[in-house]
């Protein structure tokens, strides 16, 4: 296990990136929401043997009641395999006690590794050096965490009663990751050998806690619009046998959400290729799960996509998503130091 990482002060920058706790005010709110979820999930599982909430959850065949789905202020018309409207299909409607029917619990799990020079974002070297690549990875995690926190707060402040609980599934040092994301996120160590195994275990472990839907997202898309995640949460509300998939420009995906754990979603996938999203969608359909496609976005894992991010955040060109203030601040620092010069980009590409 890596030794705990100290907070890194760049010798070329006078301002170190604050943790999420200091970057915004979401953390205390999320901490209280996690406590609320643990108490209520315990009751719904029947831990309160003498209470009315010990009723088992039941499933019934029938049309999905789309009026039950909270839209959280976003358009619910998503592109789904075989159904461009994305609503009104016959399927399974989740029924339970009145309390459970009024609240849908989703988990958003950020898949990340604790930033460390020489082990983080090395495909960005060049044009970056190992220290800068690790710091940029740190900023990506901060911005992704901020987006997830905003989604959780938006859902909680709505009138649906639904809840979103944020997680970080991580490798590396737990203390460093906790310092990075703050107390508003539940930390979950990754387990398994291959990427697919670790992703499958992370999803299964969160479902085992009693969540109705689980979303795994990457930490390499710092400008991902929070509206895309809100659409994903809304699409899975109150139904089962359903998947949401957020495809990336490179053929992978930035988000995979599901209403049940399905091992087939992680088997037979040629990871790190342009076929990942396509294969995952096919596996979901073979497993009998409806697939909603979220808006396409991009992840940053090479010099070309780093240039796209730089154009978006510093020049306002290309796709315009979340402000990613942490990443933008560090990119401006890199540009001042010449690390993002045209010559450096041409050498990297």
Tokens 């402000």, located at residue = 323
CATH of 21-49+78-293, one of 3.20.20.70, 3.90.550.10, 3.60.15.10, 2.30.30.60: 3.90.550.10
Tell me which of 81 and 241 has the higher pLDDT. 241
Does 87 score more than 70 pLDDT? no
Mean pLDDT across the chain: 76
User: Which is more confidently placed, 116 or 348?
Assistant: 116
CB 180 within 8 A of CB 137: no
Q: Residues 186, 27, 220, 157: is their CA dihedral positive or negative?
A: positive
What pTM was computed for the model? Answer: 0.74
More confident residue, 334 or 82: 334
What would the pLDDT profile of 159-200 be if each residue is shown by its tens digit?
788 899 999 999 999 999 999 999 999 999 999 999 999 999
Higher-confidence residue of 286 and 101: namely 286
Which pLDDT value is given to residue 159? 79
Query: What is the arithmetic mean of pLDDT over 71-79?
Result: 42
Mean pLDDT of 102-116: 91
Residue 299: band (very low, low, confident or very high) from pLDDT cuts 50, 70, 90? very high
pLDDT at 282 over 60: yes
Tokens describing residue 216: 């795994």
Q: Give the three-class secondary structure for 114.
A: coil
The alpha helices in 194-237, defined as continuous H runs, are 195-207, 226-236
Check: CB of residue 20 under 8 Å from CB of residue 149.
Answer: yes
Q: What is the pLDDT of residue 345?
A: 53
**Is residue 215's pLDDT more than 60?**
yes
Predicted local confidence at residue 158, as pLDDT: 83
Q: Which token pair is 90?
A: 């016959």
The string of pLDDT tens digits covering residues 301-327 is 999 999 999 999 999 998 899 999 999
Q: What is the pLDDT of residue 16?
A: 42
> How far is CA 191 from its chain centroid?
18
Residue spans of the domains in the chain: they are: 21-49+78-293, 303-348
């Amino acid at each position: 296990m890596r030794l705990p990482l100290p907070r890194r002060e760049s010798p070329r920058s006078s301002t170190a990136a604050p943790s999420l706790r200091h970057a915004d005010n979401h953390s205390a709110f999320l901490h209280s929401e996690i406590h609320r979820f643990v108490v209520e999930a315990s009751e719904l599982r029947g831990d309160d043997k003498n209470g009315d909430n010990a009723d088992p959850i039941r499933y019934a065949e029938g049309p999905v009641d789309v009026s039950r789905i909270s839209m959280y202020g976003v358009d619910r018309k998503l592109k789904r395999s075989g159904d461009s409207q994305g609503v009104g299909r016959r399927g399974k409607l989740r029924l339970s006690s009145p309390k459970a029917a009024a609240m849908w619990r989703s988990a958003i799990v950020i898949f990340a590794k604790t930033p460390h020079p020489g082990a983080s974002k090395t495909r960005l070297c060049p044009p970056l050096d190992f220290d800068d690549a690790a710091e940029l990875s740190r900023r990506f995690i901060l911005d992704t965490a901020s987006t997830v926190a905003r989604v959780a707060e938006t859902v909680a402040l709505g009138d649906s009663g639904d809840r979103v609980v944020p997680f970080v599934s991580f490798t590396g040092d737990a203390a460093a990751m906790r310092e990075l994301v703050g107390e508003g996120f539940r930390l979950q160590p990754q387990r398994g050998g291959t990427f697919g195994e670790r992703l499958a275990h992370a999803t299964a472990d969160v479902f085992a806690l009693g969540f109705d839907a689980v979303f795994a997202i990457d930490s390499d898309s710092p400008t991902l619009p929070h509206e895309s995640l809100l659409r994903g949460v809304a699409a899975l509300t109150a139904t089962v046998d359903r998947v949401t998939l957020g495809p990336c420009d490179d053929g992978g995906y930035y988000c995979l959400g599901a209403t049940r754990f399905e091992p087939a979603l992680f088997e037979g996938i040629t990871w790190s290729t342009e076929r990942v999203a396509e294969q995952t969608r096919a596996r979901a359909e073979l497993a009998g799960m409806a697939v909603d496609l979220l808006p396409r976005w991009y992840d940053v894992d090479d010099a070309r996509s780093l240039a796209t991010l730089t154009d978006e955040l510093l020049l306002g060109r290309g796709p315009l998503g979340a402000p990613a203030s942490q990443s933008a601040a560090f990119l401006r620092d890199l540009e001042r130091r010449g690390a993002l010069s045209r010559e450096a980009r041409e050498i990297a590409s």
